Amino acid sequence: MTMKYSRQREMIKEFLKTRKDHPTADTVYMNVRKTYPSISLGTVYRNLQLLSDIGEIQKVNVGDGIEHFDADIREHYHFICRRCGAVLDLDVRKMRSLIPDASEFFRGKIEGQATYFYGYCPDCLFDEE
């Protein structure tokens, strides 16, 4: 998809590349606003949606009712902390796709999967000790 260059869209994408904590649109807005004060929340939302739609970032829905965003578009897994709600990348090298097994029992077409791991992040785990 060819689209006109947008400095705002580029700033949003560059900000996401600096983060590993999967920020929300509000967090993106508050941070991008520091260097581009005239940007509106609506512009941030529209550009995050567009970047997600064209596959330049990914939207991560972790069950908290808020969309989180990730500049890492490679296939990978996420860990969600039950106490603080942190969304962290989880490096799992041996995980296999469930799509072939699921497709065996489904007459439609499965195009992807999302797997989340839950528990306590290192900060929350050590706070209990």
pLDDT at position 19? 93
Q: Which CATH architecture has domain 77-128?
A: 2-Layer Sandwich (3.30)
E strand intervals along 11-73? 58-61, 67-70
What pLDDT, in 10s, does the model give residues 12-49? 999 999 998 999 999 999 999 999 999 999 999 999 99
Query: The whole model's pTM is what?
Result: 0.80
Domain positions in the chain: 7-70, 77-128
Class of domain 7-70: mainly alpha
Convert 57-124 into a string of H (helix), E (strand) and C (coil): CEEEECCCCCEEEECCCCCCEEEEECCCCCEEEECCCCCCCCHHHHHHCCCCCCCCCCCEEEECCHHH
Q: Determine the distance from the C-alpha atom of residue 52 to the mean position of all C-alpha atoms in its chain, rounded to a whole number.
A: 9
Q: How many CB atoms lie within 10 A of CB 101?
A: 10
Confidence of residue 2 (pLDDT cuts 50, 70, 90): low
Confidence of residue 97 (pLDDT cuts 50, 70, 90): confident
pLDDT at position 128? 61
pLDDT at position 31? 96
